[in-house]
Structure formats: structure tokens, C-alpha cells
């Protein structure tokens, strides 16, 4: 081996060292080297078993790949000290040994840029409390494990790659610990990452696991793992497999193209998912089994199943928690079954579900709060005895059937809405029960509440609106009804009159003794004619009145068309009001809400008026919270945003107002039939607001322009104020007042109707000052306003 020389460079920090020299073999060079020396290898193959038992540096003289270590058998490279190895190609063909072994508590070694290309039992093994750092290394070992840590060892891998492994790409055993950053593990068998034994831990950041013949990550026997911003895809087994009290946490990860389950949990294991996306899975996204097994997901998205199985399966007493998640484009979304199995779901959306969004059976229970189901076959299905739970503030829309309760199931629904069902909104049969409190069913093509077989469902303060067949249909006595209302019940029907069966709901706690109870008509608001009359009584605003009447006519006729089985026109009820201040925008918005409520389009019709200060917070995140709170306050009515253009200032690229607009657009889509939103402001400025977000202009397709009041209309407003407050205008005073209005400057700050009211208030003050000087004023003196009571003329603005 004379041609393969190793040069040893001495440590310049020591004055008492022998001179550097060159050696024919690595063994000779290592025997001569002392701590801190560097061994530089000339190109070639060294067929030696190398042992680094002192802190030296081993590196090639001419760059990566020029030096190869390839002994006939045994461990190619053993490191027991704080040595450094750079850019070597390490081979080995011993099926009973590792190619590289880092072992012992003193082995705080660094391996950089090395390639391990071997057919050994293990590519790189870290054992016996060793703690190395590997950077930019590659392992290919088709005969065995890629990386193995055991015996309480720990290791950090930075930008490393396991490109082939006959077994697991990384195995962490016996209380060892691994930290991987921006690593890739692929073309392995059994598992990309295998964690087992109590105390074993692995933390992966920015890593990719793919092309695995088995599971992406397999954790068992109380091991713990954490993956951050990692990707797992194209495996033949599960993306994640957990068993026997293992714990995995995934944050910001992506799991996709998985033929089996994205995650399979058993044996009291725990999986925590945060901001993670799961898609293109063949069997299920989450399969959670066994008592004590738990899965918790926050801010996650589950989508695009390629199979015909439920996306989430919770059974055998397992527990599931979902918060702020999205599940869409699935055959079935969530199945919970078996006694003691439970799912707790909050602020989560289910959309484009081909069959059931949520199915509860075999004694399982769910707790759903503020969840949304849209475009599904069945929204919620409670299938059999003992199955139930509590649903609060949930919305179900555009489904075949909203809620099904059968065979003794007994859920509780509070403050829930079912909208646009193709068949029944709520269907109860076959001894199903269920309690429905403050629920609303609307705009369905079938019955609202359809309860058959004498089921003893309890309905309290429920409301049915615009359902094509009837609001409540009970085929026989059984349901217990209290304070429920429907828009298909004539207000004039006597309480004792027996209405036709499709229009009747009966209360029968004991049929022979209890009187029959009936659904009452919806009583909430005054008739539309009264609100329209008040609108017509407003001074001026002829074009505005015509616009509002057109909208009302379209809504009213559309409702009658639906009742006749015809298609109704699709209406966008959100409006833009443009014009100067004081032109009656808020008043018209209030009346518009009342009219829509009287027609059954809105539940309450109340007005919530806000401005920028009510929606925009001082720090990141607070704006969305404020906007959500204002929107929630307006549910069932009108959200009126005055000076809405202030949310989109011209120089507001970093302004939180944009966040308020984005939040508002999403809320309008998620709850498009719950709230009418009216935005108001100056004409030119509102054009800027409508272009602030691509979704804004599409949601506000109709603009109503409010013109300024004429002088005569301002005078009429002042006359109305006089009548309301029991004053009189002398004819000469009216003429003088008309002239006064004609002199007012109508700039951007002109108040229109507000100005007329302010003028009236000034006249009242000047009248009081004048009449107070009279010794014994008459009733006429106390009422009559004369020209002297007019405000003093304002100076005209100077030209700039």
C-alpha cells in the first residue's frame, strides 16, 4: 500500500509534539497521531478497519469521493472519541455489523459530507450514549437499516439523506434520541422512521419521507416523536402508525398520496396535529382505535380521498378532538362508533361530502360547536340506541337531509340551522328521539321537521321558514312541541281548530288526557306593508325607494315560485349605499332589514351599525376577532358598515383594515343566508373599497345611490321636525328658511338631512332665548317659529 500515503499534520498549539509525517497505512498514522492532529488521505482505496479513538480529523487530500474505505469484513469505521470525518466514501459488506459505528459517551464526533454505500446490517449506528453530529451525509444500505440509534445515544442529522435501506430508514430504540433537520429518507422498507421503547425520541424539522415500502413513521412502546414542516408521501402502508402509548406531534406537515391511512392509532397512543394538511389517501385520514387512544387536530385540512372509506374513523372507545379544521371532497367525513367513543369538534367545516358528514352509531357520542356542513348527502346521522351528543350553533346547508335520528338515538341540538335541504331538514323515525332547542330549518324542498312512527322528539322554540312542503310534519302523535313557529301556519287559525295534517304539529304526552298543541305562525316582526309605508313616507329618495321595492318584489315573487315548485331567481341581497352624509342611508338600511324579516328572509331583521373603529384592532389577530364579533351580533339581521372605504385606505398596504375586509368576505360566504351586509360611504371612495379584495365586488352586485336633498326637501324635513316636537312654522318663516338652505355651501362635509335637523335645533334655541324675555307668553308664542329664529348667515368659504 505504499502508494496510499496518509499525511499527519501536527497540532500547532503544542510545543512538545513530534514533527508531522507521512505514513503508508491509516493504522500507522492513527497510532502516531495525537489529539487535535489532522490526517489527510491521498486518493485511493484503504482496505482497513479504521478505529478513531482520539479527537483527530480525517479528510481526503483532493476532495469528496476520492478516498474510499472498504475492508473485507467487520465495521468499516468505528468512532469512540470526538473525531471529525470529512468527505469520505465508506463501504462495507458484513451482514452482521454496521458500516459506521459511533459508540461511547466520549463519541461527540462530527461527520460531514460522507457517503456510506454499503450492504451491511446497518449503515450508520450510534450506540452507548454517543452524541455525534452528521451534516450533508448520505447512506445507501439495501441490505439493512439506514440509521440506527440505541443505548441512550443521541445524534443530530443536518441535510442528510438515506437514499436506500432494506429495512427502516431511521430506527430510534432503547431510549435514544435523534434530531433531523432538512433530511430526506426514501426507498426504505418497513418504515421511513421507526421509534420504539420508552424514552426514545425523534424530532424532525423540514424533512421528507417518501417511497417507503411500509409506514412513513411508525411509533410504538411509549416512544415520542415531533415532526415540524415535514412531508410524508408515496408510501405503501400508513403515513403514520402509532401503537402502545406512543406519542407523535406534527406541526405544519403535509401527508399525501397514501394508499392506506394517513394515520392509524391504537393501544392508548396519542397523535397531535397542528396546521397540517392530509390529502389523497386511499383508506382514511385518521383511524383511531381502542380505549385511551386519542387524536387531536387544530387548524388542519383533510381533503380529496381517493377511496370509499370515512375520512376519520373513531371506534372501540377512542377519543377525537378537532378544532378549526376543514374536511372536504370526501366520501364520508367523520364516523364515530362504539360505546365510549367520542368526538369533540369545534369551529370546523365539512363540505362536498358525498355521503354523511357526521355519523354516530353503536352508542358513541359527539360534541359539535359552531361547525358548518355544506354540500353533503346527510349532514348528521345518529343511527341507533345510545348514540347521541350535543350540537350547538351548527349550520347545515345544501344537503339531501340535514339531520337523521333513528333507532333510539337521542342527540341534543341547540341553536342550529338547517338550510336548503333537498328532502327533510330534520328526519326522525324508528323510535329515534332527539331534543331540538332554538333550531331553525329554512328554504328546504321537503318538510322542515319530518317526524314519523310516533317518535318522542322534543322541539322547543324551533322555527320553520320557506320549506316547500311544510314546516312541521308529524304523521302521528308523539313529538313534544313548545313555542315553535312556522311561516306556513295562517295567523287567523283558531287555537282549537284542527289544521290539515301536513300543516299540523301535535303535543301528546298522554294522548287521552293532553290537549293537542299546534305550531304557531311566526310573530316576530310587523308586516312588510307597514315597513314599506314608513319607507314611502321618507322625504325624497324616489330612486332609492324604487330600488328597494324592486328588491322586495324579487324576493317575494321568488318565495312564491319556490312554494309553487318553480326555480327562484338567485338574489344577492348585500348592498352598497353611496352618497353624502345625512341622506337617510342608515334609516333605509333599518327598514330594509325589517322588510326582509317580515318576508322570512332574515330571522330578526335588526340593524347593527359599525365603523372602522369597531372592526380594526391594534395588533395582529385582533381585527379578525372584532369583525367576527360584529358579524355574530348581526346574525339574523343587517350589518351596516358606515364609511366602509376607511377599511381600504389608499396608502394602506400594511393596514389592518384589509384583514377586516378579508374576514368579512369569508364570513359572508360561510353564512351567506344569515346576515345582510350593507356598506356605505361616498361614491368615489366606495369604488376603492370594492376593489380592495377580489371577493368584495362579486358579493356586492347592487349599488343604491342616495342623492343630496334639494332645498325644498330640506325644508320639508324641517317641517317634519316641527310637527314631531310640536312647533309651528309661520309662512314667512318657511320662505326665509328655504332661502337660508339655498345659501348653504354644499361641499363634501354638507350634512343633508342632518343639517336640516341641526338648523331646526338652532331655531329652537333662538326661539327659547326670545320667548324667555316675554313677560307672559301665550301658547302660540311657545309654538311659533318666526324668521328671527333662523340661524345667523354663515360666511361663505374663501376661494383658495
Model pLDDT for residues 714-752, shown as the tens digit of each residue? 888 888 889 888 999 888 988 888 888 888 877 766 777
CA distance 332 to 358: 8
What is the reported pLDDT for 308?
Answer: 93
| pLDDT reported for residue 107 | 97
CA atoms within 13 A on the CB side of 164: 10
Quickly tell me which residue has 331538514 as its cell.
Answer: 425
- 567 CB neighbour count, 10 Å cutoff: 8
Please state the φ and ψ torsions of residue 564, each to the nearest 5 degrees. -90, 5
Residue in the block written with cell 332609492: 544
Could you give phi then psi for residue 669, rounded to 5 degrees?
-75, -45
Alpha helices in 95-246 (DSSP H): none
pLDDT at 486 > cutoff 50: yes
CA 413 distance to own-chain centroid: 22
CA dihedral 541, 542, 545, 549 (to 10 degrees): -170
Residue 800's pLDDT is: 36
* Best-predicted range by mean pLDDT (518-522, 580-584, 691-695): 580-584
Pairing between strand 270-274 and 247-251?
A: parallel
Weakest-pLDDT range from 376-390, 486-500, 692-706: 486-500
Of 202, 209, 198, 139, nearest to 172 by C-alpha is 202
Give the start-end residues of each E strand in 461-580.
463-465, 470-474, 480-482, 485-486, 520-521, 575-579
Residue 515 per-residue DSSP state: P
The predicted pLDDT at position 523 comes to 56
Residue 537's φ and ψ, nearest 5 degrees, are: -75, -15
What would the grid cell of residue 259 be?
394508499
Q: How confident is the model at residue 452 (pLDDT cuts 50, 70, 90)?
A: very high
Three cell numbers at 718?
Answer: 324641517
Considering 424-428, 487-491, 517-521, the range whose residues carry the highest mean pLDDT is: 424-428
Give the pairing type, strands 38-41 and 6-9. antiparallel
Classify residue 778 as exposed, middle or buried by CB count within 10 Å of its CB (0-12, 13-18, 19+). exposed
Q: What average pLDDT does the segment 586-596 reach?
A: 87
Specify which residues 172 forms β-bridges with: 149, 195
Q: Are 615 and 660 in contact (CB under 8 A)?
A: yes
Residue with cell 350547538: 392
Please report the pLDDT score of residue 20 as a whole number. Answer: 67
Query: Is residue 690 scored above 60 in pLDDT?
Result: yes
Percentage of the chain lying above the pLDDT 70 cut: 90
Residue tagged 417507503 (cell numbers):
212
The backbone torsions φ and ψ at residue 502, rounded to the nearest 5 degrees and listed phi first, read -65, -20
The DSSP line for 68-105 is EE--SSS-SEEE-SS-EEES-EE----TTSEEEEEEST
With cut-offs at 50, 70 and 90, classify the pLDDT of residue 201: very high
pLDDT higher at 687 or 313: 313
What is the model's pLDDT at position 303?
96
Q: Please report, to the nearest 10 degrees, the dihedral formed by the alpha carbons of residues 207, 208, 214, 219 taken in order.
A: 20
Residue 613 pLDDT > 70:
yes
pLDDT for 562: 67
Nearest Cα neighbor of 409 from 359, 444, 341, 352 is 359
Residue with cell 364520508: 332
pLDDT above 60: residue 509 = no
Average pLDDT over residues 2-19: 62
Taking the C-alpha atoms of residue 318 and residue 287, their distance in angstroms, rounded to an integer, is: 10
Average the pLDDT over 385-395 and give the result. 95
Q: Where are the beta strands (DSSP E) in 564-648?
A: 575-579, 607-610, 638-641
C-alpha cell of 432? 329515534
Whether the predicted pLDDT of 504 surpasses 70: no
Residue 231 is given by DSSP the state: E
Confidence of residue 654 (pLDDT cuts 50, 70, 90): low
Looking up cell 337531509 gives 401
Give residue 510's pLDDT band: very low, low, confident or very high (50, 70, 90): very low
pLDDT at 396: 96
Q: What is the pLDDT of residues 239-270, one digit of tens each?
A: 999 999 999 999 999 999 999 999 999 999 99
222-226, 294-298, 558-562, 684-688: least confidently modelled range: 558-562
For the packed helices 528-537 and 542-563, what is the interaxial angle rounded to 10 degrees?
170
Q: What is the pLDDT of residue 518?
A: 67
d(CA 682, CA 155): 65
Q: How many Å apart are CA 784 and CA 414, to the nearest integer?
A: 58
Report pLDDT for 506.
Answer: 37
Residue 195 to residues 166, 224, 523, Cα–Cα distance (Å): 17, 7, 64
Three cell numbers written together for 430:
324508528
pLDDT tens digits for 659-674?
Answer: 888 888 888 887 777 8
Average pLDDT, the chain: 88
Sign (positive or negative) of CA dihedral 89, 93, 98, 102 = negative
Contact status, residue 30 vs residue 55, Cβ threshold 8 Å: no
Longest dimension (CA), the chain: 134
Return the higher-pLDDT residue of 450 and 528.
450
Contact 66, 88 (CB under 8 A): no
- pLDDT band per the 50, 70, 90 thresholds, residue 426: very high
Task: Report the b/e string of 116-151 with b at 16+ CB within 10 A.
Answer: bbbbbbbbbbbbbbbbbebbbbbbbbbbbbbbbbbb
pLDDT single digits (tens) 307-330? 999 999 999 999 999 999 999 999
User: Rounded CA gap, 30 and 453, in Å?
Assistant: 90
pLDDT digit string (tens) for 87-104? Answer: 999 999 999 999 999 999
Q: Among the residues of 605-692, which ranges form H helices?
A: 612-615, 622-633, 657-670, 683-690
Q: What is the pLDDT of residue 673?
A: 75
Angle value at C-alpha 518, between 513 and 521, nearest 5 degrees: 160
Question: Which pTM does this prediction carry?
Answer: 0.68
Predicted confidence band at 517 (pLDDT cuts at 50, 70, 90)?
Answer: very low
CA distance 444 to 466: 7
Q: How far apart are CA 216 and CA 207, in angstroms?
A: 12
pLDDT at 393: 94
How many angstroms separate the first and last alpha carbons of the chain?
98
Residue 507 has pLDDT above 50, yes or no: no
pLDDT (tens digit per residue) in 109-168: 999 999 999 999 999 999 999 999 999 999 999 999 999 999 999 999 999 999 999 999
Long-range residue pairs from 565-568, CB within 8 A, at least 24 positions apart, any chain? 565/468
Range name among 197-206, 637-646, 787-796 with the lowest pLDDT average: 787-796
The closest alpha carbon to 488, from 403, 591, 562, 417, belongs to 562
pLDDT (0 to 100) of residue 82: 97
Q: SS3 helix, strand, coil % of the chain, rounded to 5?
A: 20, 35, 45
Question: How many helices, marked H, and strands, marked E, lie in the chain?
Answer: 13, 64
Amino acid at each position: 500500500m505504499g502508494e496510499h500515503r496518509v499525511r499527519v499534520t501536527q497540532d500547532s498549539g503544542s510545543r512538545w509534539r513530534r514533527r508531522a509525517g507521512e505514513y503508508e497505512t491509516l493504522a500507522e498514522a492513527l497510532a502516531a497521531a495525537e489529539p487535535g492532529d489532522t490526517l489527510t488521505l491521498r486518493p485511493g482505496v484503504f482496505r482497513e478497519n479504521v478505529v478513531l479513538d482520539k479527537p483527530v480529523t480525517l479528510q481526503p487530500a483532493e476532495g469528496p469521493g476520492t478516498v474510499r474505505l472498504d475492508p473485507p469484513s467487520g465495521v468499516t469505521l468505528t468512532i469512540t472519541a470526538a473525531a471529525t470525518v470529512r468527505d469520505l466514501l465508506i463501504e462495507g459488506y458484513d451482514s452482521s455489523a454496521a458500516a459506521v459505528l459511533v459508540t461511547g459517551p466520549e463519541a461527540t464526533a462530527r461527520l460531514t459530507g460522507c457517503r456510506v454505500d454499503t450492504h451491511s446490517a446497518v449503515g450508520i449506528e450510534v450506540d452507548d450514549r454517543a452524541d455525534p453530529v452528521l451534516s450533508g451525509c448520505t447512506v445507501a444500505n439495501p441490505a439493512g437499516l439506514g440509521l440506527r440509534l440505541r443505548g441512550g445515544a443521541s445524534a443530530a442529522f443536518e441535510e442528510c439523506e438515506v437514499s436506500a435501506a432494506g429495512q427502516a430508514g431511521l430506527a430510534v430504540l432503547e431510549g435514544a434520541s435523534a434530531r433531523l433537520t432538512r433530511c430526506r429518507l426514501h426507498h426504505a422498507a418497513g418504515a421511513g422512521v421507526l421509534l420504539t421503547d420508552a424514552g426514545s425520541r425523534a424530532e424532525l424539522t423540514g424533512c421528507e419521507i417518501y417511497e417507503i415500502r411500509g409506514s412513513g413513521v411508525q411509533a410504538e412502546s411509549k416512544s415520542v416523536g415531533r415532526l415540524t414542516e415535514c412531508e410524508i408521501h408515496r408510501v405503501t402502508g400508513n403515513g403514520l402508525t402509532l401503537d402502545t402509548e406512543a406519542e407523535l406531534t406534527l406541526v405544519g406537515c403535509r401527508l399525501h398520496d397514501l394508499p392506506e391511512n394517513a394515520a392509524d392509532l391504537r393501544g392508548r397512543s396519542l397523535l397531535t396535529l397542528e396546521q397540517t394538511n392530509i390529502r389523497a389517501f386511499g383508506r382514511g385520514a385518521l383511524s383511531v382505535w381502542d380505549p385511551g387512544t386519542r387524536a387531536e387536530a387544530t387548524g388542519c385540512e383533510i381533503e380529496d380521498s381517493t377511496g370509499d372509506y370515512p375520512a376519520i374513523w373513531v371506534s372501540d372507545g377512542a377519543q377525537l378532538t378537532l378544532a378549526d379544521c376543514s374536511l372536504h371532497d370526501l366520501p364520508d367525513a367523520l364516523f364515530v362508533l362504539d360505546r365510549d367513543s367520542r368526538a369533540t369538534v369545534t369551529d370546523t367545516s365539512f363540505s362536498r361530502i358525498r355521503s354523511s358528514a357526521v355519523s354516530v352509531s353503536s352508542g358513541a357520542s359527539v360534541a359539535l360547536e359552531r361547525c358548518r356542513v355544506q354540500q353533503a348527502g346527510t349532514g348528521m346521522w345518529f343511527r341507533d340506541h345510545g348514540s347521541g351528543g350535543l350540537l350547538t350553533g351548527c349550520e347545515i346547508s345544501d344537503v339531501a337531509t340535514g339531520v337523521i335520528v333513528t333507532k333510539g338515538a337521542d342527540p341534543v341540538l341547540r341553536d342550529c340551522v338547517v338550510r336548503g335541504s333537498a328532502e327533510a331538514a330534520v328526519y326522525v323515525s324508528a323510535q329515534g328521539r332527539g331534543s331540538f332547542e332554538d333550531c331553525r330549518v329554512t328554504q328546504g324542498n321537503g318538510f322542515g321537521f319530518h317526524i314519523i312512527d310516533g317518535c318522542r322528539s322534543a322541539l322547543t322554540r324551533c322555527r320553520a321558514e320557506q320549506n316547500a312542503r311544510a314546516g312541521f310534519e308529524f304523521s302521528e302523535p308523539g313529538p313534544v312541541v313548545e313555542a315553535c313557529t312556522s311561516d306556513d301556519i295562517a295567523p287567523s287559525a283558531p287555537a282549537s281548530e284542527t289544521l290539515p295534517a301536513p300543516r299540523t304539529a301535535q303535543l301528546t304526552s298522554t294522548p287521552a288526557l293532553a290537549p293537542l298543541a299546534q305550531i304557531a305562525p311566526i310573530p316576530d316582526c310587523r308586516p312588510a306593508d307597514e315597513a314599506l309605508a314608513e319607507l314611502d313616507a321618507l322625504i325624497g329618495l324616489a330612486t332609492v325607494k324604487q330600488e328597494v321595492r324592486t328588491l322586495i318584489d324579487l324576493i317575494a315573487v321568488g318565495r312564491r315560485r319556490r312554494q309553487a315548485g318553480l326555480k327562484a331567481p338567485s338574489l344577492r341581497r348585500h348592498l352598497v349605499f353611496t352618497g353624502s352624509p345625512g341622506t337617510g342611508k342608515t334609516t333605509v338600511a333599518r327598514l330594509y332589514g325589517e322588510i326582509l324579516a317580515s318576508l322570512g328572509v332574515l330571522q330578526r331583521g335588526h340593524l347593527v351599525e359599525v365603523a372602522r373603529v369597531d372592526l380594526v384592532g391594534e395588533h395582529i389577530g385582533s381585527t379578525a376577532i372584532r369583525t367576527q364579533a360584529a358579524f355574530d351580533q348581526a346574525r339574523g339581521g343587517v350589518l351596516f358598515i358606515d364609511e366602509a372605504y376607511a377599511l381600504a385606505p389608499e396608502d394602506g398596504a400594511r393596514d389592518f383594515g384589509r384583514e377586516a375586509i378579508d374576514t368579512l368576505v369569508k364570513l359572508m360566504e360561510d353564512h351567506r343566508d344569515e346576515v345582510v351586509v350593507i356598506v356605505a360611504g361616498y361614491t368615489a371612495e366606495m369604488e376603492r373599497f370594492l376593489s380592495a379584495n377580489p371577493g368584495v365586488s362579486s358579493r356586492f352586485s347592487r349599488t343604491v345611490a342616495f342623492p343630496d336633498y334639494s332645498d325644498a326637501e330640506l325644508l320639508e324635513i324641517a317641517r317634519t321636525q316641527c310637527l314631531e316636537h310640536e312647533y309651528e312654522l309661520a309662512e314667512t318663516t318657511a320662505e326665509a328658511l328655504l332661502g337660508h338652505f339655498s345659501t348653504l355651501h354644499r361641499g363634501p362635509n354638507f350634512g343633508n338631512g342632518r343639517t336640516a335637523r341641526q338648523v331646526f335645533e338652532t331655531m329652537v334655541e333662538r326661539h327659547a332665548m326670545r320667548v324667555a324675555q316675554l313677560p307672559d307668553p301665550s301658547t302660540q308664542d311657545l309654538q311659533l317659529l318666526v324668521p328671527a329664529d333662523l340661524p345667523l348667515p354663515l360666511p361663505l368659504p374663501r376661494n383658495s
